[in-house]
Amino acid sequence: MSKIIKEVQESLINLKRVKPLVHCITNYITANDCANAILAVGGSPAMADAIEEVEQMATQAQALVLNLGTIANELVDAMIKAGKAANKAGVPVVFDPVGVGATNYRKESTFRLLKEVKFSVIRGNMAEIKVLCGMESNSKGVDSVEDVKEDAAKDIARELAKKLNTVVAITGVIDYISDGERVITIRNGNEMLTRVTGTGCMTTALIGAYLGGGSSPLHCAVAGVATMGMVGEIAFDNLKENQGSGSFRVSLIDGMYNLKEADFQNVGKINE
């Protein structure tokens, strides 16, 4: 068994032992799915975004998840307040810069957050991560239409992780996760994941749940991304005739609930 497989298995053990409170400031489109994903793997979600309470909630939690999906000025202010409080309390923070390249407002808000808050993990698709690198990117709304060769993708993940002193997780057909030194690739997943809204947001929430268990940010990022890819494969294989994206969505949560340590070895396509 490889070193990284053992590390992600330990992350799942820690998550289920701690049962962390995961504070999410996320978008209204996927909040319910993110909460259910956290519950399914063994965490406890708190979906609090009122600016009057986010600091207190963030310091009570074991992890904080910030998602840029449906933003407004007050929500960005709330994210910064929560992020600063979490940083001061030693609570790990994961950031999802949804659609950062789609509008100037999203880009300005993202770089404001990067300036004000220290993130343990940043997860995005290739188009989003390229924007954070200051590179030209191709997107359609909040979706990436990038096609980057594997070696170049690894370099992008590694260099941004070094630049921001964080773990960077790039999700797509192949996933790339780096802490600036190590680079992990994951080849799990199914095309049906693109037919259900919020699977990226749920992946970020899963990373937050693993972070709440106390494992290292790199291990938690790999565990969260691999979890979504693996349950995506399992959910698709379990579809019956005439079942589609609605049944698939429910089956994703079932897969998270039934996730076992052995799945990372038996189903996971995780390599370093």
Binding site members for substrate:
47, 198
Strands 183-186 and 270-271: antiparallel
- Joined together, the tokens standing for residue 65 give 């998840």
Hunting for tokens 């106390």 — which residue is that?
Answer: 214
Binding site, annotated residues: 47, 123, 171, 198
Hunting for tokens 């001061």 — which residue is that?
Answer: 88
- Residue 29 makes CB contacts below 8 A (sequence gap 6+) with 69, 70, 197, 198, 201
Of residues 256, 266, 208, 209, the one with CA closest to residue 231: 256
First-to-last C-alpha distance (Å) of the chain: 12
- Residue 10 makes CB contacts below 8 A (sequence gap 6+) with 215, 219
Distance CA 266, CA 77 (A): 43
Q: What are phi and psi of 180, to 5 degrees?
A: 100, -15
At 204 the three-state DSSP class reads: helix
Dihedral of CA 7/8/13/16: which sign?
positive
- Residue 83 makes CB contacts below 8 A (sequence gap 6+) with 58, 64, 66, 93, 113, 116, 117, 118, 119
Binding site, annotated residues for ATP: 123, 171
Question: Residue 271: how many CB atoms within 10 A of its CB?
Answer: 12
